[in-house]
Structure 1
Amino acid sequence: MRWVKLTESQIQESVAELSGWNRKDEKWIEKKYRFKEFLDGIKFVNQVAHLAERLVHHPMIAIDYKLVTLRLTTWSAGGLTELDIQSAKEIDEIYRSQQISSV
């Protein structure tokens, strides 16, 4: 499937609906996730990796001890698409479900 780059107004509207995701520039959105333990972050990254494989859409991932930073863009479209927004929402759901299960 070929993804179409969102317009500036679509990007602003979509990102405003996402919790904690920020624009890095015209091509990227980014979010940082904090964890109580290092291995909780690793578990999260592994779940994100499975999502990325399912969607065939892979984020940039940085792991800094208990802080995981994810960045999304759609290379083939030259910027942000609905696939990035969908991925962000599903990643947030993974994070929420992991936090609930660890309580």
Structure 2
Amino acid sequence: MAAAKLSEERVAQLLEARPAWKLTDGKWIIRKYRFQTYMQGISFVNRVAEASERLNHHPFIVIEFKLITLKLTSWHAGGLTELDFETAAEFDDLFMES
């Protein structure tokens, strides 16, 4: 069964727990991660890719030298679901391990 789209209230509640993530266009969450070197950022992107495959939930990824931007939504639900926030938490954990 597909995950259900979250209410605006639930999204706001979950964003309180992840203040580095920002809501954009009402259906995306986005976060920018800054690294000391280009290769540290690329290593992070590789770990994000592995986690995304495991979770079967894939972000949009933008690489701008030492700045990595991740953007999440759930297409099948037409907006944000619990899975987006679980995935965001996983990415934050990977960043803390960097």
TM-score bin (small chain): over 0.9
- Summarize deviations over 1:49-102 as a string: whole Å, max 9, x none: 00100010000000000000000000000000000000000100000011xxxx
Displacement of 1:41 in angstroms is: 0.3
Deviates further, 14-23 or 42-51: 14-23
Q: For 1:22-33, list aligned pairs within 5 A.
A: 22-33=22-33
Alignment partner, residue 36 of structure 1: 36
- TM-score, scaled relative to structure 2: 0.98
d(CA) in 2 for partners of 1:27, 1:40: 29
d(CA) in 1 for partners of 2:82, 2:74: 9
SS in structure 1 opposite 2:6?
coil
Identity of aligned residues (%): 47
Alignment partner, residue 73 of structure 1: 73
- TM-score, scaled relative to structure 1: 0.93
Displacement of 1:19 in angstroms is: 3.4
Aligned residues: 98
d(CA) in 1 for partners of 2:16, 2:93: 17
SS in structure 1 opposite 2:80?
coil
d(CA) in 2 for partners of 1:41, 1:30: 16
Report the aligned-residue RMSD. Answer: 0.7
Q: For 1:1-103, list aligned pairs within 5 A.
A: 1-98=1-98
SS in structure 2 opposite 1:29?
strand
Unaligned runs of 5+ in 2: none
Residue type of the partner of 1:83?
L
Unaligned runs of 5+ in 1: 99-103
d(CA) in 1 for partners of 2:21, 2:4: 20
Residue type of the partner of 1:26?
G
